[in-house]
A and B are shown apart, each in its own frame.
Chain A
Amino acid sequence: MTDEEARHLTSLERNLKRRALILNITRRFFDDRGFLEVETPLRSPAIAPEKEIIPLQSEGWFLATSPELYMKRLLAAGYRQLYQISRCFRKGERGRLHNPEFTMLEWYRAGGDYLTMIADTEQLVLTISRELGLGDAIKYRGKTIDLTAPWGSLTVREAYKQLAGWDPGHSPDPVRFDTDMVMKVIPHFNAHRPTVIFDYPAPMASLAKLKPDSPGVAERAEVFIGGLEIANAYSELTVAAEQTARFQQEIAAIKKEQGRDAPLPEKFLRAMEKLPASGGIALGLDRLVMLFCDAASIDEVMAFTADTA
């Protein structure tokens, strides 16, 4: 073993130990608050059709890109508070912050909404930081980040107006919106505080409900810490007809632009008739571990990546 390999092993070992601790603390956090940990299928005949999230196939079925639809089927069946830590797969996503196979933490609250989920996230991140012995502030990539709640927050429109210099309105050009998100908006958030942006333009609602008094935007929020996109929260859309229409539009766009066949997740849509008002959130656990390990790359917090598998 070379010196460099030995050094890599020591820092990886330290990060993997910390990762295990974070998983432990996370499970205790939810268990203590009355959430039920569940496991749902990794392979499914139909998943949520999303044009920019490309699934991997397995014997004609799809590997999970998120456990979201199963979690909501359980909410529809009467479960009130659920969480899951599961592997998700997204084809072609590989970079400093991406591996095509990664770990997602999702939790749902019947009766909650997107802001409840953000409040949970604040408490979860603070709890992890304190239990790791780091207190209320962490040092990430040379910058001190104050994790105390409430986190800084602004609407998506405010964020683009202030940081990218234009108003996305209610129906922005999606290429410009996504490019400026990673090139201008995220890099210019306050580096010393977590940032929440909320109220996405309606065409980016995905599975979130539109804001009742302001239907041009959806009740969707995202959390960023240290320049990393950490979590995405919704007030869940509960109207099956509206969700079906959105899915059908997405399926048509996937076919037209990518030639890909995406089936309609019918069992989920049927269950949706009984879905109560609820909040849900998906958090990239590998990136959360990166923050607490001061890791520049996702590779530093995974035992093996797509390149070493």
Chain B
Amino acid sequence: MDISEVRKGSKVLIDGFPYNVEDAEFMKPGKGRAIYRYRLRNLVDGKSIERTYHSGDSLDPANISTREGQYLYKEGDHYIFMNTDTYDQYLIEEYKLADKAHYLKEGMIVITLFHDDKPLDITLPIFIEATVVKSDMAARTDTVTAQMKRATLETGLEIDVPTFIKEGDAIKVDTRTGAYVERIVAKK
């Protein structure tokens, strides 16, 4: 694509790697060439770079797409997902998921980011529900401020929860912040 069509949010290929344009600056002496300065993030390793281009330059667009997937199970250092349209399975390495791996529960639906046919990353649902499998006993105090304690969820995530939460309770967690939201009351 012509460099004048590349803007913030464009996905481009540099040295074979897909990059997201995070910031684009257009500069131009009135009678002179247009100068395009970009900050780009490598979608594979997350590193950010800066590049300058001129009018007449071009960049190849990166074929980036998102597809819905269902998390199936973990195998070694890989997490296995299934495309919910085609039922094809694909795997994502643990290092690519980083902290997101601690929120994955079997059967969970996520959005997967692909470069061509290679999965790069996932987007979690904003809220997940999970069962508390381990939590400390809270010490009783007389203060009126909310008391929190550590708890481990079935997904392996460790978070702070209010003292009234017991092992076996289901709770709602915000995946953007890792914060406890509320207890899920089972329907009778």
Contact = CB atoms under 8 A, between A and B. Distances in A.
Interface in B38-89: 52, 54-56
Given A95-B25, A95-B26, A95-B27, A174 B56 contact: no
B187 to A, nearest CB: 37
Contacts of B28: 52, 93, 95, 98, 178, 182
Main secondary structure of the interface of B (DSSP, over half): loop
Nearest to A206: B31
Contact of A178 (B25, B26, B29): B29
A10 interface: no
Contacts of A206: 31
B32 A174 contact: yes
B35 interface: yes
Contacts of A95: 25-28
B31 A204 contact: yes
B16 interface: no
B98 to A, nearest CB: 33
B32 A181 contact: yes
Contacts of B33: 52, 174-175, 178-179
A94 B35 CA distance: 11
A257 interface: yes
- Name the residue in A95, A96, A258 with the highest tally of chain B Cβ atoms < 10 Å from its Cβ: A95
Interface in A159-193: 174-175, 177-179, 181-183
B25 A232 contact: no
Interface string B10-42: 000000000000000111111111110000000
B175 interface: no
A52 B55 contact: yes
Interface residues of A, number: 27
A92 B32 CA distance: 14
Main secondary structure of the interface of A (DSSP, over half): mixed
Contacts of B27: 95, 97, 182-183
B125 to A, nearest CB: 27
A229 interface: yes
Nearest to A229: B30
Contacts of A229: 29-30
B4 interface: yes
B26 A53 contact: no
- Name the residue in B29, B30, B32, B34 with the highest tally of chain A Cβ atoms < 10 Å from its Cβ: B30
Interface string A202-226: 0010100000000000000010000
Nearest to B3: A92
Interface string A98-130: 100000000000000000000000000000000
Given A94-B26, A95-B25, A96-B25, A179 B31 contact: no
Contacts of A204: 31
A236 B145 CA distance: 78
A197 B54 CA distance: 23
A136 interface: no
A96 to B, nearest CB: 7
B31 A92 contact: no
Nearest to A257: B56
B54 A232 contact: no
A52 B26 contact: no
A95 B8 CA distance: 11
Contacts of A183: 27, 35
A98 B54 CA distance: 16
Contacts of B54: 175, 178-179
Interface of B: 4, 25-35, 52, 54-56
27 contacts: A52-B28, A52-B32, A52-B33, A52-B55, A53-B31, A92-B4, A92-B34, A93-B28, A93-B34, A95-B25, A95-B28, A96-B26, A97-B27, A98-B26, A98-B28, A174-B33, A175-B33, A178-B28, A178-B29, A178-B54, A182-B29, A182-B35, A183-B35, A222-B30, A229-B30, A257-B56, A284-B30
Given A95-B28, A182-B29, 9 more contacts: A50-B31, A52-B55, A93-B34, A97-B27, A174-B33, A175-B54, A181-B32, A182-B27, A258-B56
